[in-house]
Amino acid sequence: MPAQKSVLQLSFHEERIKKKVLATVSRFSGVTSIAIDDKTGKMTVVGEVDIPRIVKKLRKICEADIVTVEVVKPPEKKPDEPKKPEEPVACQIPFSYLYPYHSYYQPYCICNCGGSIK
């Protein structure tokens, strides 16, 4: 089943019903995103879900109707350009700032420059 973008018309008047609607829809497997417009009462559901099952479940909570259902096309992938290997950068930080205490171990650089400090 391809991903779908569905718009549902809901009529709810209380905040707790809105929370109940969001919790109910989010439990369905395959839901990618949910958005509710409070002014118009429309909810947008995106994902690979069975919309009639969602509407049937929501009608137990509030009034719900299907407005539109569209198939979402996957975004086109651009051809990847070959990445150039990163050249190591010489460490510009003096060792005394990195390690102000005396160490018996060979000093190394923590700035990901790929080498030890000289």
Give residue-wise pLDDT tens across range 8-39. Answer: 999 988 999 999 999 999 999 999 999 999 89
What is the tally of structural domains in the chain? 2
Say if residue 24 is in the same domain as residue 51: yes
| DSSP secondary structure of 46-57 | EES--HHHHHHH
User: Does residue 110 or residue 42 have the better pLDDT?
Assistant: 42
Say if residue 116 is in the same domain as residue 59: no
Say if residue 35 is in the same domain as residue 66: yes
What CATH number does the domain containing 14 carry? 3.30.70.100
Answer yes or no: is 82 within a domain: no
pTM (2 d.p.): 0.61
- Which residues, including other chains, have CB under 8 Å from residue 24's CB and lie 6 or more apart? 57, 58, 61
Answer yes or no: is 80 within a domain: no
Average pLDDT, the chain: 81
Say if residue 50 is in the same domain as residue 18: yes
Say if residue 60 is in the same domain as residue 93: no
- Which residues, including other chains, have CB under 8 Å from residue 41's CB and lie 6 or more apart? 9, 10, 11, 12
Q: Domain range holding 111?
A: 87-118
Say if residue 66 is in the same domain as residue 93: no
Answer yes or no: is 20 within a domain: yes
